[in-house]
Amino acid sequence: MAEKRPGGRVRVDWEAVEREFRTGKFTNVELADRFKLDPATLSRKIKADRARDDSRWQKDLSEVVRQATNAMLMADLVKSEVKEGQDQVNLTVKAAAEVGAQVIRQHRAKLAEVTAGADRARAKVLELLEGVSDIREAATAMGAIESWARITKTVVEKERQAFGLEDVAPANPLEAMSEAELEAEAERLKKARGQ
Protein backbone atom coordinates (compact mmCIF):
# COMPACT_ATOMS: atom_id res chain seq x y z
CA MET A 1 0.00 0.00 0.00
CA ALA A 2 1.09 3.57 -0.48
CA GLU A 3 1.90 5.56 2.62
CA LYS A 4 2.08 9.33 2.90
CA ARG A 5 5.39 10.87 3.76
CA PRO A 6 5.88 14.25 5.35
CA GLY A 7 5.41 16.89 2.71
CA GLY A 8 2.48 15.09 1.10
CA ARG A 9 4.49 12.71 -1.07
CA VAL A 10 3.33 9.11 -1.20
CA ARG A 11 5.77 6.30 -0.49
CA VAL A 12 4.99 3.22 -2.60
CA ASP A 13 6.12 -0.33 -1.86
CA TRP A 14 7.08 -1.03 -5.47
CA GLU A 15 8.30 -4.54 -4.68
CA ALA A 16 4.83 -5.45 -3.36
CA VAL A 17 3.20 -3.85 -6.40
CA GLU A 18 5.49 -5.79 -8.76
CA ARG A 19 4.82 -9.06 -6.89
CA GLU A 20 1.08 -8.54 -7.29
CA PHE A 21 1.57 -7.55 -10.95
CA ARG A 22 3.52 -10.77 -11.62
CA THR A 23 0.66 -12.94 -10.39
CA GLY A 24 -1.29 -11.88 -13.45
CA LYS A 25 -4.47 -11.66 -11.35
CA PHE A 26 -4.92 -7.89 -11.62
CA THR A 27 -5.10 -5.33 -14.41
CA ASN A 28 -2.96 -2.23 -14.13
CA VAL A 29 -6.03 -0.19 -13.14
CA GLU A 30 -6.93 -2.72 -10.41
CA LEU A 31 -3.36 -2.68 -9.11
CA ALA A 32 -3.23 1.10 -9.11
CA ASP A 33 -6.49 1.19 -7.19
CA ARG A 34 -5.32 -1.50 -4.77
CA PHE A 35 -2.11 0.42 -3.96
CA LYS A 36 -3.74 3.88 -4.14
CA LEU A 37 -1.74 4.91 -7.20
CA ASP A 38 -2.56 6.80 -10.34
CA PRO A 39 -2.74 4.23 -13.19
CA ALA A 40 -0.49 6.48 -15.32
CA THR A 41 2.18 6.47 -12.54
CA LEU A 42 2.10 2.66 -12.49
CA SER A 43 2.41 2.49 -16.29
CA ARG A 44 5.38 4.90 -16.28
CA LYS A 45 7.11 2.88 -13.53
CA ILE A 46 6.62 -0.37 -15.45
CA LYS A 47 7.92 1.19 -18.68
CA ALA A 48 10.97 2.76 -16.97
CA ASP A 49 11.93 -0.42 -15.10
CA ARG A 50 11.55 -2.56 -18.23
CA ALA A 51 13.78 -0.15 -20.16
CA ARG A 52 16.56 -0.74 -17.59
CA ASP A 53 15.90 -4.50 -17.16
CA ASP A 54 13.59 -6.35 -19.52
CA SER A 55 13.09 -9.16 -16.98
CA ARG A 56 11.20 -6.76 -14.68
CA TRP A 57 7.40 -6.57 -14.50
CA GLN A 58 6.75 -9.82 -16.35
CA LYS A 59 3.21 -11.17 -16.04
CA ASP A 60 3.70 -14.59 -17.56
CA LEU A 61 5.79 -16.37 -14.99
CA SER A 62 4.57 -19.84 -15.98
CA GLU A 63 8.08 -20.88 -17.07
CA VAL A 64 9.63 -19.61 -13.83
CA VAL A 65 6.88 -21.33 -11.82
CA ARG A 66 7.37 -24.54 -13.81
CA GLN A 67 11.14 -24.45 -13.16
CA ALA A 68 10.63 -23.77 -9.46
CA THR A 69 8.08 -26.61 -9.28
CA ASN A 70 10.46 -29.00 -11.02
CA ALA A 71 13.27 -27.95 -8.70
CA MET A 72 11.08 -28.61 -5.67
CA LEU A 73 10.00 -32.00 -7.02
CA MET A 74 13.59 -32.89 -7.84
CA ALA A 75 14.70 -31.89 -4.34
CA ASP A 76 11.95 -34.09 -2.88
CA LEU A 77 12.99 -36.98 -5.11
CA VAL A 78 16.67 -36.58 -4.24
CA LYS A 79 15.84 -36.46 -0.51
CA SER A 80 13.71 -39.57 -0.89
CA GLU A 81 16.37 -41.43 -2.89
CA VAL A 82 19.10 -40.46 -0.42
CA LYS A 83 16.94 -41.59 2.49
CA GLU A 84 16.11 -44.88 0.73
CA GLY A 85 19.79 -45.38 -0.09
CA GLN A 86 20.79 -44.67 3.51
CA ASP A 87 18.06 -47.02 4.74
CA GLN A 88 19.41 -49.75 2.42
CA VAL A 89 22.95 -49.15 3.66
CA ASN A 90 21.75 -49.33 7.26
CA LEU A 91 19.86 -52.57 6.58
CA THR A 92 22.86 -54.08 4.79
CA VAL A 93 25.22 -53.13 7.60
CA LYS A 94 22.82 -54.47 10.20
CA ALA A 95 22.38 -57.76 8.30
CA ALA A 96 26.14 -58.17 7.86
CA ALA A 97 26.72 -57.37 11.52
CA GLU A 98 24.11 -59.97 12.51
CA VAL A 99 25.82 -62.62 10.36
CA GLY A 100 29.16 -61.67 11.89
CA ALA A 101 27.70 -61.86 15.40
CA GLN A 102 26.25 -65.31 14.66
CA VAL A 103 29.63 -66.52 13.41
CA ILE A 104 31.36 -65.20 16.52
CA ARG A 105 28.72 -66.84 18.76
CA GLN A 106 29.33 -70.15 16.97
CA HIS A 107 33.08 -69.73 17.39
CA ARG A 108 32.65 -69.07 21.07
CA ALA A 109 30.51 -72.20 21.42
CA LYS A 110 33.12 -74.24 19.54
CA LEU A 111 35.90 -72.84 21.66
CA ALA A 112 33.91 -73.63 24.80
CA GLU A 113 33.46 -77.21 23.53
CA VAL A 114 37.18 -77.51 22.77
CA THR A 115 38.09 -76.11 26.18
CA ALA A 116 35.62 -78.38 27.99
CA GLY A 117 36.76 -81.40 25.95
CA ALA A 118 40.39 -80.59 26.58
CA ASP A 119 39.72 -80.23 30.31
CA ARG A 120 37.87 -83.57 30.39
CA ALA A 121 40.57 -85.29 28.36
CA ARG A 122 43.30 -83.83 30.54
CA ALA A 123 41.54 -85.01 33.67
CA LYS A 124 41.00 -88.43 32.09
CA VAL A 125 44.62 -88.61 30.97
CA LEU A 126 45.82 -87.66 34.44
CA GLU A 127 43.50 -90.27 35.93
CA LEU A 128 44.68 -92.88 33.47
CA LEU A 129 48.30 -91.97 34.00
CA GLU A 130 48.01 -92.91 37.65
CA GLY A 131 47.03 -96.46 36.78
CA VAL A 132 48.65 -96.80 33.34
CA SER A 133 52.06 -98.12 32.96
CA ASP A 134 52.05 -97.52 29.21
CA ILE A 135 52.66 -93.86 28.56
CA ARG A 136 51.98 -94.42 24.85
CA GLU A 137 48.24 -94.61 25.52
CA ALA A 138 48.33 -91.29 27.35
CA ALA A 139 50.37 -89.69 24.55
CA THR A 140 47.91 -90.96 21.97
CA ALA A 141 45.00 -89.41 23.87
CA MET A 142 46.81 -86.05 24.19
CA GLY A 143 47.72 -86.13 20.49
CA ALA A 144 44.04 -86.56 19.61
CA ILE A 145 43.10 -83.61 21.80
CA GLU A 146 45.80 -81.42 20.23
CA SER A 147 44.65 -82.38 16.73
CA TRP A 148 41.06 -81.51 17.57
CA ALA A 149 42.10 -78.13 19.00
CA ARG A 150 44.25 -77.31 15.93
CA ILE A 151 41.43 -78.22 13.54
CA THR A 152 38.94 -76.11 15.47
CA LYS A 153 41.37 -73.17 15.57
CA THR A 154 41.92 -73.41 11.81
CA VAL A 155 38.17 -73.62 11.10
CA VAL A 156 37.46 -70.57 13.29
CA GLU A 157 40.25 -68.54 11.63
CA LYS A 158 39.04 -69.44 8.14
CA GLU A 159 35.41 -68.64 8.94
CA ARG A 160 36.39 -65.28 10.41
CA GLN A 161 38.46 -64.52 7.30
CA ALA A 162 35.61 -65.60 5.01
CA PHE A 163 33.19 -63.26 6.78
CA GLY A 164 35.69 -60.37 6.85
CA LEU A 165 35.71 -60.20 10.63
CA GLU A 166 39.42 -59.53 10.95
CA ASP A 167 42.28 -58.32 8.86
CA VAL A 168 44.35 -61.06 7.38
CA ALA A 169 48.04 -60.40 7.87
CA PRO A 170 50.34 -61.97 5.32
CA ALA A 171 52.15 -65.05 6.61
CA ASN A 172 55.44 -63.50 5.52
CA PRO A 173 55.72 -59.73 6.13
CA LEU A 174 58.10 -59.46 3.18
CA GLU A 175 55.22 -60.41 0.85
CA ALA A 176 53.44 -57.17 1.73
CA MET A 177 56.46 -55.02 0.83
CA SER A 178 56.99 -53.28 -2.48
CA GLU A 179 60.18 -53.84 -4.44
CA ALA A 180 61.60 -50.52 -3.22
CA GLU A 181 60.80 -51.44 0.39
CA LEU A 182 62.49 -54.83 -0.06
CA GLU A 183 65.61 -53.16 -1.44
CA ALA A 184 65.67 -50.70 1.46
CA GLU A 185 65.27 -53.56 3.97
CA ALA A 186 68.10 -55.51 2.30
CA GLU A 187 70.30 -52.42 2.50
CA ARG A 188 69.44 -51.93 6.18
CA LEU A 189 70.31 -55.57 6.96
CA LYS A 190 73.66 -55.28 5.13
CA LYS A 191 74.54 -52.21 7.18
CA ALA A 192 73.49 -53.95 10.37
CA ARG A 193 75.86 -56.85 9.55
CA GLY A 194 78.64 -54.44 8.74
CA GLN A 195 78.83 -55.30 5.02
Confidence at residue 44, expressed as pLDDT on a 0 to 100 scale: 94
Tens-level pLDDT at each residue, the chain (195 residues):
555 556 666 788 999 998 888 877 788 999 999 999 999 999 999 999 989 988 888 876 667 777 888 788 888 877 877 788 788 888 888 888 888 788 888 877 877 777 677 677 767 766 665 665 667 766 776 776 777 778 778 777 777 766 667 665 556 666 777 788 778 888 887 787 776
CA 115 to chain centre: 41
Q: Are residues 49 and 113 in the same domain?
A: no
pTM for this model (two decimals): 0.37
The answer as to whether 16 is a domain residue is yes
Which three-class secondary structure state does DSSP give residue 5? Answer: coil
Q: Are residues 29 and 98 in the same domain?
A: no
Backbone angles phi, psi at 11, to 5 degrees: -95, 125
The answer as to whether 180 is a domain residue is no
Q: Are residues 53 and 116 in the same domain?
A: no
Q: Are residues 98 and 137 in the same domain?
A: yes
Q: Are residues 105 and 159 in the same domain?
A: yes
Domain hosting 19: range is 12-60
CA distance linking residue 85 with residue 54, whole number of Å: 44
The answer as to whether 112 is a domain residue is yes
Q: Are residues 45 and 109 in the same domain?
A: no
Closest to 107 in 3D by CA, of 155, 144, 145 = 155
Confidence at residue 93, expressed as pLDDT on a 0 to 100 scale: 81
The answer as to whether 124 is a domain residue is yes
Q: Are residues 41 and 95 in the same domain?
A: no
Confidence at residue 52, expressed as pLDDT on a 0 to 100 scale: 92
Confidence at residue 97, expressed as pLDDT on a 0 to 100 scale: 82
The answer as to whether 78 is a domain residue is no
The answer as to whether 130 is a domain residue is yes
Backbone angles phi, psi at 81, to 5 degrees: -65, -45
The answer as to whether 137 is a domain residue is yes
Confidence at residue 7, expressed as pLDDT on a 0 to 100 scale: 60
How many structural domains are present in the chain? Answer: 2
Confidence at residue 104, expressed as pLDDT on a 0 to 100 scale: 80
CA distance linking residue 23 with residue 58, whole number of Å: 9
The answer as to whether 98 is a domain residue is yes
CA 161 to chain centre: 24
User: In 10 A of CB 83, how many CB atoms?
Assistant: 10
